[in-house]
Structure formats: C-alpha cells, structure tokens
Structure 1
C-alpha cells in the first residue's frame, strides 16, 4: 500500500492505476489459482483428501473478490476518506476471514496443525477476543492512528497483525478442522455476542465524537460536497458497525440453526431408543 496521494491526480484523487491495484489483482489471482489447483487435481498429493463441495469453493472465491475490493478500489480512497478506510477494515477483518476459513478443506490444514505451535493457545476464545478487539481499539486511538497512516512500514505491520488477529478471532467459530473445533454451538453464540460487545466501544466513541479525531483526514481534500470530514468520520464508524452486525448476525443465525438441527437429531435418536426398549419389554 502506497501513500495514494503521491501518484494521484492533482486534486488528490487516486488515479485509475491506483484504483485497479494491479499488485492486489495479481496476489488475489495467484491465491485463487492455487486454491483451485489444491481443491482440484492437486488434492491427490494430500492424504485423506476428499472432494470439496461447490459451495465451499464459491464461498472461498467470494472471499477473495471481497478482499480485492477492500485492498484495491476501496483502499485507494483510504487516505482521503475515513469511511473508505473503515469499509476496507470491516470487509478485510470481518467478512473475508470467515469466508476463506469456511472454504478451506480440512485435509489441507490438518497436516499443518501440529507444526503450528501455540495455535491452541492463540485460538483460545478469550485470547482471540482480547487480541483482535484490543488491537483494533488501540489502532483507532487518534495518536496511534495518525502515526500508522503516516508511515508505510507501520501501516504494513499493523495490517499484517490485524489480518492474523482477525483470522485467529474467526477460527473458534468457523473452524475448518472438525477435531480442532472446541466450542459447542451455544458457546459459539456467546462468543459472537461477546465479540460484538467488545468492538462496540471503539465504534461508538468515533460515531458520537463531535470533533475530528484524526489529523490524517482533517487535512485530506473533501471529495464529496455532501460529506464533510465529521460526517465522514461518523459514517466510517457506522459502516464498521453495520458490516459487523451483518457478519456476526449471519454467523449467529447459521450457528443457531445448526444447534437446533443437532438437538432435533438427538431427540429423534432418544425417541427411537425409547420405542425400541418399549417393544423389547413387551
């Protein structure tokens, strides 16, 4: 990610090249090609490989498309509009990780798990909640935020850290390896709820601030006549909260229905068991 204003048009707007982000396109295509090879003819190099259902492939590729949109066109405006910056973060950390994790086949990750020491500790629900939401909140302390936005190095480092933290945060909910999935459905629901609560203070502080919090955007050129910097700041926080509600709400609903289905199956088994014993005792 460059300082997009360096090679932008004279009015500070990103040029077409920056909007298209060829580097991000290339990176996304390489990952997509690798994934399609892995889940296609490359699967024969893995022990216990099974066919990956179409829906998993579609979800994974959708995750890549959203990733490109966030890191390409939307990120191009990230230095000019706080709302663009927050949209990029919301998509990148709240939508992309669960889609990619859902699409990854368990047989691909299984051999890697023993090599990833500390994964069990770092995917512990309480640890992941604190790390991701903690980093996210610290990132948006005005002093920290402006320092990060002014430095290419810090920006890269913080994005890498947040990407790792967001993947770890989603792992307990959308765990692609069944035997590493240690939360019950009810615990998952509690976890998603806690996650939403922890992310709220940072969003609320920004949404209800009546002054500009970040120097980065105070000096940025105003792109849209209808969107002054303070409205833009509030819009950013609202977008983050909306995307979070959609992402967490969808996963919460999905988890709830899985839980209900499991309960029904168990009830049915118990009934069958009961009828069988009743028949025998006659």
Structure 2
C-alpha cells in the first residue's frame, strides 16, 4: 500500500514548512536588514548563509517530508532521521548562526550561565549520550510516540543536547566552552562514539521486536497520529490499515536491527569525516607554527633543567 493514502498534509507538513520559512526570513532580517541595530555585529558570510540554509533544509527533510512519515512506519528510517538531524543538521545550524549572535546569547545573565554549563565538554558528551540512550529505551520511546506533547518536548530536548554536543568542537572563541586543537577534539569525538554504542548494540543484537509502536496493532495506529491528521486516520480505519506490514515486506525484527546498524554506520562515517578534518587542521597548525612550538619546547626544557 502506498504512503500517499495519508494525504498531502501528512506527507509534506505544510505548517512546519511555513514555520521554517518564517524562521529563515527572521534569520535574514537579523543578520542582514537589522544587523546595524546590534552592537558588535559583523556582515553575514556566504558560508554562514549556506550552512544555515542547509541546516534548515535537513530539518525539514527529516521532520517535515515523507521521510518523517516513513520514520513512523519503519524503525530503520527513524534511525536515519536521528543521524541526519542530530549529527548533521545540528552542527550546520551552529555554524550558520554568526558568532556575534552566539556571543550575545551567551551574554544573557541566566541563559548564558546555563549554556556554559551544558556546553562544557564533559557535560555535553554525557548529556547527549544519556538523552539518546534514554530516548530509545523501548518503554520511553513507546510512551513518547503515543503523546504529541511528549514527543515534541523529547525531540526538542534531544536536539538541544545535540547542539550542546557539537558546540565545544565548533566554537573557537573564549566567551564560551571550547576544545583545544588536536588530541582534545579527537578524544571528545571518540568518547561520544563509544558512549552511544551500547544503545545501538542493544537494538542490533536483541532477538525480538522491542518497540510496540513499530509492530502491528493499536499502538502503531495511535502513534501515526504524530504525523497524520486524526480525520485522515478515521477515514482510513475501514481500509484494512492494521500495521507497518501493510507498507513493507521486511520483518519487524530485521527492520529494528537494521535501524541500529544504520545509525552506527552513519555515526561512524560522520565522525570519521570530522576526525579527518580535525587531524588536518591540527597538522596544518603544527606545520605553520613549527618554529614557535620548537622555541616553546626549548624554553620549557631550559626551565626544567634549572631545577635539576
């Protein structure tokens, strides 16, 4: 059965699309039209505009396009959603927002204090890993998918934790937590990869389906209300719509295991690209500052020899 039976609104989320369009226009207004009203502002660069545009586009693709509908039918597609939303869209949006805006956000008294705590490297990597793992516990995910408010709150909170995860890697300024070049960033990425592995392993190696909302029955149909209007679901009630098996021939267990595998593979690919970029930046920094680093080492040896 084709997913087009759910209708245009469920497939393309026009209200969500309009919300993102308004957000993009507000972004342009602040960074271009009204920029002179803010002290310390800087011109919007082409790379920032591209990153922010791609970030919003990925948010719409994962949460507003037919991909979102498929994510409620197939667990494997849900995990692809998570990988793209949390590991690609989140850092793109951080890089797309000019640093002068971030500086003003972190300058807000209470908000800035909270953000500095949440973006400390140790806190942020543990926070994201814990949120991701808890989110995908069977009892939690099934409960979330049966409540529109809970689903919205948990999804937004998980996305914020992803922003916190990426912040120390992207930030190069002193007004907020950041990581030093080289080994610190590499260790941070590896730690994040290790910490979310147990959640993926649990999904991959379990020998029975664990998510009620991805199985045949009333729970799955109720969970579809997250992206399908109630009137549409009522109209489809007499068409034999009983579960995800209507849309795919893949066994539920295989779909579940594939979801864990795809999440881990995508995470490793994304982290691998980031590690490569970090290593190249580290290498170039060492090469371009070789004389200065050598001089520092010589002075350090001389200082140590004075105490021996």
TM-score (norm 2): 0.79
| Residue 101 in structure 1 maps to residue 94 in structure 2 | yes
Which of residues 279, 282, 296 is equivalent to 1:259? Answer: 282
| Residue 53 in structure 1 maps to residue 45 in structure 2 | yes
Which of residues 126, 129, 141 is equivalent to 1:145? Answer: 141
Residues 83 and 233, structure 1, Cα contact 8 Å, conserved in 2? yes
Residues 90 and 243, structure 1, Cα contact 8 Å, conserved in 2? yes
**Aligned partners of 1:70 and 1:230: how far apart in 2?**
23
Q: CA deviation at 1:194?
A: 0.4
TM-score (norm 1): 0.86
**Unpaired segments of 5 or more residues in structure 1?**
1-8, 274-282
Which of residues 5, 16, 20 is equivalent to 1:28? Answer: 20
| Residue 118 in structure 1 maps to residue 141 in structure 2 | no
Aligned to 1:180: 176
Aligned to 2:271: 248
Superimposed CA distance per residue, residues 149-207 of structure 1 (whole angstroms, 9 cap, x where no aligned partner): 11112111211211111111111111274542531122111101100111111111111
RMSD (Å) for aligned C-alpha atoms: 2.3
Q: Which aligned pairs between 1:1-282 and structure 2 lie closer than 5 A?
A: 14-73=6-65, 74-115=67-108, 116=111, 117-175=113-171, 177=173, 179-185=175-181, 186-219=183-216, 220-269=243-292
Q: CA deviation at 1:58?
A: 0.7
**Unpaired segments of 5 or more residues in structure 2?**
217-242, 297-308
Residues 46 and 108, structure 1, Cα contact 8 Å, conserved in 2? no
Q: How many residues are paired up? A: 265
**CA 1:266/1:148 → structure 2, altered by over 3 Å: closer, same or farther?**
same
**CA 1:106/1:233 → structure 2, altered by over 3 Å: closer, same or farther?**
same
**Aligned partners of 1:270 and 1:127: how far apart in 2?**
31
* More deviation, 246-255/153-162: 246-255
**Aligned partners of 1:104 and 1:112: how far apart in 2?**
11
**CA 1:88/1:270 → structure 2, altered by over 3 Å: closer, same or farther?**
closer
Secondary structure in 2 aligned to 1:222?
A: helix
Residues 47 and 107, structure 1, Cα contact 8 Å, conserved in 2? no
